[in-house]
C-alpha cells in the first residue's frame, strides 16, 4: 500500500497507525509530487496520525523513514500528542480569526450607524448609508429603495 492510501485509511478510520513493512521495489499506482517511485518503495517505517477537531478529521500528520523499525508505539504516542496540540492551536487560530472578523464587522456597522445618525433628513440618511455601504463592501453601485 502506498503512503497516499495510508492517509485515506487514517482519515476513514480516525485512528493512528504504525506501519513497518519489508523494503519493496513495487511501483505504486500514484506517486506524490516531488517523490520518485523508488522513494516511495524505500519507505519501510511509517507513522500516520489523524488531526481531529471535534468529530472531523481535518488532516493527517505523518513521519516516514527508509530505515526499518525506525519508529515504535512510543513514537506513535508522541506524534499523537503533538497532533492533539496542533489541532488545539489550529482551533484557537481559527476562532481568533473569526473573532477578529466579527469585531471588524461590528466596528463597521457601528461606524455606519453613527454616520447615519448625524444626518438631518431621510434623503441624506439614505445617501450616507448607501455611500458607506458601497465603501465598506467595495461595490461599484449601491442602491436603497423605500416603498411608499
What average pLDDT does the structure give for the chain? 84
Separation between Cα atoms, residue 91 and residue 75, nearest integer Å: 24
The band of 7, judged by pLDDT with boundaries at 50, 70 and 90, is confident
Q: What is the pLDDT of residues 59-101, one digit of tens each?
A: 999 999 888 889 999 999 999 999 999 999 999 999 999 999 9
How confident is the model at residue 35, as a pLDDT? 47
The pTM is what?
Answer: 0.63
Question: Mean pLDDT highest for which of 5-14, 28-37, 84-93?
Answer: 84-93
What top-level class would CATH report for the domain 3-96?
alpha beta
Span 121-136, pLDDT tens digits: 988 999 999 999 888 8
Kindly list the domain boundaries of the chain, sorted by start residue.
3-96, 105-137
Amino acid at each position: 500500500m502506498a503512503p497516499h492510501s495510508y492517509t485515506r485509511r487514517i482519515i476513514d478510520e480516525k485512528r493512528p497507525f504504525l506501519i513497518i513493512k519489508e523494503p519493496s521495489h513495487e511501483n505504486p499506482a500514484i506517486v506524490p509530487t516531488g517523490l520518485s517511485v523508488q522513494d516511495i518503495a524505500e519507505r519501510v517505517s511509517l507513522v500516520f496520525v489523524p488531526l481531529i477537531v471535534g468529530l472531523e478529521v481535518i488532516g493527517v500528520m505523518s513521519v516516514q523513514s527508509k530505515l526499518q523499525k525506525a519508529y515504535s508505539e512510543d513514537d506513535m504516542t508522541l506524534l499523537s500528542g503533538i497532533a492533539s496540540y496542533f489541532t488545539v492551536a489550529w482551533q484557537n487560530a481559527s476562532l481568533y480569526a473569526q473573532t477578529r472578523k466579527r469585531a471588524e464587522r461590528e466596528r463597521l456597522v457601528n461606524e455606519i450607524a453613527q454616520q447615519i445618525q448625524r444626518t438631518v433628513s431621510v434623503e441624506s440618511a439614505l445617501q450616507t448609508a448607501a455611500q458607506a455601504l458601497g465603501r465598506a463592501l467595495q461595490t461599484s453601485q449601491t442602491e436603497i429603495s423605500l416603498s411608499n
